[in-house]
């Protein structure tokens, strides 16, 4: 990346390896906004990720993350639908909602309705058999937590899954939607109000207020359209292996590396 920057008249002050041949800091002097666009262009076809950020407030005090397809590798609602033979139908709706083509709350109600009659026990079966943690996620959460950051999982998915994922990865708190269950069977309904993009942003703001920090001291991670307001409000909002419309708007993205890259982004070394 250094030669390309030099060709654009960007002065590279120094480089520093955080881990040899794996993660490197490149310190430059340039206007922030212009540099973000330039680096995105330079990296378009390159096999690595880079994040442009000011050196001040680099190490974040709040970590707030989406769950499905971010901290875990699957969409839980799609996997649940597979147990009733409707995964393809539900997955199509999920994809459109995450791309911002559908109203999230309406899309969630529509998908949950298709789960009506599913035994409650299937939730645990789905977690045990389908849910896999995203590589680097546990290291990210536990390293930040050990260094004093508050870690929050906030999802448009369901509390059944966020409670277990939060415990497995080391989050302090979790927030999500709650499925309505009666007589050990899913009713096809979800409790209102539905936690969507506005609630994710509100949770970021509430956590910052509680901690006595600014949004600039927060790291937010997500992949879908309902994460965008949260990503844009955070000091470092990262589109993680995200949908195209999210990548286009987020100021930072990780599209090739795993979640441990976000430790290097904050200056943590080997």
């970590």: which residue's tokens?
A: 63
Catalytic residue among 9, 45, 49, 68: 68
Residues 224 and 242: their CA atoms lie apart, in Å, by 6
191 phi and psi, to 5 degrees?
-65, 140
- Reported as type and span, the H/E element at residue 126 is helix 121-130
The packing angle between helices 104-113 and 87-98, to 10°, is: 170
Token digits for 258? 């795993």
15: helix, coil or strand? strand
Q: Catalytic site residue 66?
A: yes
Which residues, 6 or more positions from 252, have their beta carbon under 8 angstroms from its beta carbon? Answer: 51, 52, 53, 236, 237, 238, 239, 265
Token digits for 264? 């290097």
Q: β-pairing, 62-65 with 150-158? A: parallel
Catalytically active residues, by annotation: 66, 68
């Amino acid at each position: 990346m250094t030669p390309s920057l030099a060709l654009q008249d960007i002065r590279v002050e120094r480089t520093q390896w955080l881990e040899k041949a794996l993660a490197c800091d490149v310190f430059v002097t340039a206007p922030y906004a212009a540099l973000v666009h330039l680096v995105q262009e330079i990296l378009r076809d390159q096999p690595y990720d880079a994040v442009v950020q000011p050196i001040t407030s680099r190490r974040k005090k709040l970590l707030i993350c989406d769950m499905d397809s971010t901290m875990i590798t699957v969409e839980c609602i799609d996997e649940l639908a597979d147990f009733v033979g409707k995964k393809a139908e539900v997955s199509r709706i999920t994809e459109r909602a995450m791309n911002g083509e559908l109203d999230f709350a309406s899309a969630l109600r529509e998908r949950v309705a298709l789960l009506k009659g599913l035994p409650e026990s299937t939730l645990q079966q789905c977690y045990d058999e389908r849910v896999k943690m995203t590589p680097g996620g546990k290291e990210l959460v536990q390293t930040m937590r050990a260094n004093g950051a508050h870690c929050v999982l906030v999802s448009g998915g369901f509390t059944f899954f966020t409670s277990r994922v939060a415990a497995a990865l080391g989050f302090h708190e979790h927030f999500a939607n709650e499925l309505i269950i009666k007589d050990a069977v899913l009713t096809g309904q979800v409790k209102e109000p539905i936690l969507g993009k506005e609630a994710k942003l509100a949770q970021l703001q509430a956590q910052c207020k509680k901690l006595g920090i600014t949004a600039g001291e927060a790291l937010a991670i997500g992949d879908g359209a309902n994460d965008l307001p949260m990503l844009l409000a955070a000091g470092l909002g990262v589109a993680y292996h995200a949908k195209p419309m999210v990548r286009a708007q987020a100021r930072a993205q990780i599209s090739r590396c795993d979640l441990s890259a976000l430790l290097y982004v904050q200056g943590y070394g080997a």
